Amino acid sequence: MAKISQFRQMLEKGLSTQQKNLLIAVLGVAALGYICTDPGQSMEEAGYRLAWLVLTGAGLGILHCVYHGRSELNARRAGLLTLLIVMQVALIRGLGNLPGSALLEHKITHAQLLLGLPYGLAPGMASVMLGKRLGVFTALCTTLFGMVLMPQDFTMANYMVLSLVAGLISALLCDSVERRERILFAGTMTGVAVFVAAVALGCFCGGGLSGPQGGSTPSVFAAEAVAAVVVNFLVGVFISGLMPFLERLFNISTHITWLEWSDVNHPLLKKLQVVAPGTFHHSMYVQRLAEAAAEAIGADVTRAGVCGLFHDIGKLENPQYFTENISDQTLSPHNALTAEASARTILKHVKDGVEIARKHKLNSRIISAIREHHGKLLTCFFYRKAMDRYAEEKKKFDEGVIDTCPEEVNKENFAYEGPIPQTRESGIVSMADAVESATRSLVNPTEEARRNIIDKIFRERILDGHLRDSQLTLGDIDKIKEAFLSTLGAMNHNRIAYPPRPEGETASASAAAPEKAAKSAS
């Protein structure tokens, strides 16, 4: 085991991402070659299958580079994609072992056997875990690789159509699922689509589905329909059961997992409510702002909201040093600290947050948002405090009041380490954090006051280069500002001032009713 671990570490350090992906693809094609050939085959048949697999693999690799080059496929995602493709081809080989299947001895035709293949397994799972585009790509891969197992007659063409139809529908219906029941629905609809496509193919071919062996009676026809739906429904059950295991194995989070993280009953968030209630309340506001902004520009709403919820969990370590948790500012612990010491404590919450997130195995995107939400900005309050103190002591030194010349303030001691936001969601969370904190300090704010402070914050961040790597356009920024303004107005709306209740009048209308009834009766 130790040697295997050392070999893996050597590969991780010595190979680039593209080289790792190429190695994984080569291993995948080799595994497919092992699955699709056997010692009993003729050299001609084995050579045909291996040539098909190699050429198809090369073509699919080039296709992916052309159409998916912008979204880099890391080693974990490439490994999962390869595993799913190999798994589905192995199942097709094992279930059918076409054309010499023992099932054929029980009067089951090739066409009927095609109804029972798990076409939507790999595409559906890839769509759930890796996204719709890779789900569609997986449907194409499993179709082309699986064709090598089919006899070179009409069965190959039928398999290609059924596999593509089922794979595409499964990939499209399993994209961004919010409930596991949706996967079962996708499996059922995939089964219906397989049967309808099979009927159409049977009609076009003129032989029907059942063919001469099974007859074309209504009972056989109904059994075929039920078989197609049940098989694909069970595929959905299998995907739902296998998904949590693959998430942990490959450290990949699905949309369902992101929704689970958005639950405020998460242990970290429950602890934040108790230990740092002010920070928790701030994080809830940031979540709402981030979700509204993400929806406005078409970013991932759930991901932005979850990153907003967890962005300040580092404050769990020293909650009493952050202003939102200090009820009386005259008792602030910073009053007894130098500006440099206060800045170190404030800056540290980013590192603490990253460590806490890793300890609780949160998604890498959440960790990135925690690390990036302050970018390389300054803790301005304490930096100005240090500069004022330096100016005061420098003046005393110049006047001869003190003998020691004060050291100049090192600006780096008051700056976050960064990096600046690298994604749209991270940029949104960063701006939502700044806007929520700034607008909270306003007393009886008007819409104009909120708009002015939002414009000021965005202008400063743009000039500082804080958003240059976030992939946010100027059009996006305008939409985000409007979303912030609208959401803040909804969250902080004013209520009408109720007049004081006359002395002696009860608060409840129901309590006063019996008294009025008694007076009218008398």
Residue 94 lies in a domain: yes
Segments forming the whole domain that contains residue 435: 258-379+415-491
Residue with tokens 């190999």: 86
Per residue in 91-118, pLDDT (tens digit) is: 888 876 644 444 445 556 666 777 888 8
Taking only the tens place, the pLDDT of each residue in 294-316 is 999 999 899 999 999 999 999 99
- Per-residue pLDDT band for 428 (boundaries 50, 70, 90) equals very high
pLDDT of 15 reads: 66
Q: pTM for the whole thing?
A: 0.75
> Same domain, yes or no, for 335 and 477?
yes
**Helix residue ranges, H only, 174-320:** 180-205, 211-214, 218-250, 255-261, 267-275, 277-297, 301-310
Q: Is residue 114 part of a domain?
A: yes
288 and 433 belong to one structural domain = yes
Angle between helices 75-96 and 218-250 (to 10 degrees): 150
Evaluate the CA torsion angle 205, 208, 214, 215 in order and state its sign.
Answer: negative
Does 151 map to a domain? yes
- The mean of the pLDDT values for the chain is 82
Residue 486 covered by a domain: yes
Residue 69 has pLDDT above 80, yes or no: no
Residues 221 and 366 grouped into a single domain: no
Q: What is the pLDDT of residues 361-404, one digit of tens each?
A: 888 889 999 999 999 999 988 999 999 998 988 888 888 888 88
Domains held by the chain: number: 2
Looking at the fold, whether 242 and 279 belong to one and the same domain comes out as no
Instruction: Please write the tens of the pLDDT for every residue from 121-149.
Output: 999 999 998 888 889 999 999 999 888 88
**Which residue type occupies 203?**
C
Question: Are 58 and 3 a contacting pair, CB within 8 Å?
Answer: no
Q: Do 225 and 263 lie in a common domain?
A: no
Of the residues 250, 285, 306, the one at which a domain ends = 250
Judge if 176 and 130 occupy the same domain: yes
**Boundary (domain end) residue, out of 234, 250, 266:** 250
> What mean pLDDT comes out for the span 343-347?
93
Residue 300: enclosing H or E segment and its boundaries? none
> Both 433 and 320 in a single domain?
yes
Assigned domain for 356 exists: yes
CB 111 within 8 A of CB 209: yes
Closest CA to 285 of 461, 440, 421, 449: 440
**Residues 329 and 346 occupy one common structural domain:** yes
Question: What are phi and psi for residue 94, nearest 5 degrees?
Answer: -75, -40
- Could you give the CA distance from residue 51 to residue 57 in angstroms, rounded to a whole number? 10
Cα separations (Å) of 28 from 18, 34, 58, 117? Answer: 15, 10, 12, 21
pLDDT the model gives residue 6: 52
Say if 358 falls within a structural domain. yes
CB contact at 8 A, 208 and 202: yes
Q: Which 3 state secondary structure label does DSSP give 201?
A: helix
Q: Do 246 and 264 reside in the same domain of the chain?
A: no
Shared domain check, 482 and 352: yes
List, in order, residues 6 or more apart from 189 with CB less than 8 Å away.
Answer: 169, 173
Q: Flag whether 6 is in a domain.
A: no
Average pLDDT over residues 234-250: 87
Using only C-alpha atoms, the chain has a radius of gyration, in whole angstroms, of 32
What distance in Å separates the CA atoms of residue 34 and residue 27, rounded to the nearest whole number?
11
Q: Name which of 298-312, 346-360, 438-452 the model is least confident about.
A: 438-452
Tell me what pLDDT residue 350 has: 95
Alpha helices of 69-109 — where are they, by DSSP H?
Answer: 75-96
| DSSP assignment of 147-194 | GGGS-TTHHHHHHHHHHHHHHHHHHHHTTT-SSHHHHHHHHHHHHHHH
pLDDT for res 505: 59
Same domain, 56 and 143: yes
Do 314 and 231 lie in one domain? The reply is no
| Residue 222: inside a domain | yes
Identify the CATH number of the domain in which residue 300 sits. 1.10.3210.10
Domain limit, last residue, from 210, 228, 250:
250
User: How sure is the predictor about 263, in pLDDT bands with cuts at 50, 70 and 90?
Assistant: confident
Q: DSSP 3-state assignment of 17?
A: helix
Segment 257-282 shows an average pLDDT of: 91
Q: What angle do CA 369, 361, 72 make, to 5 degrees?
A: 55
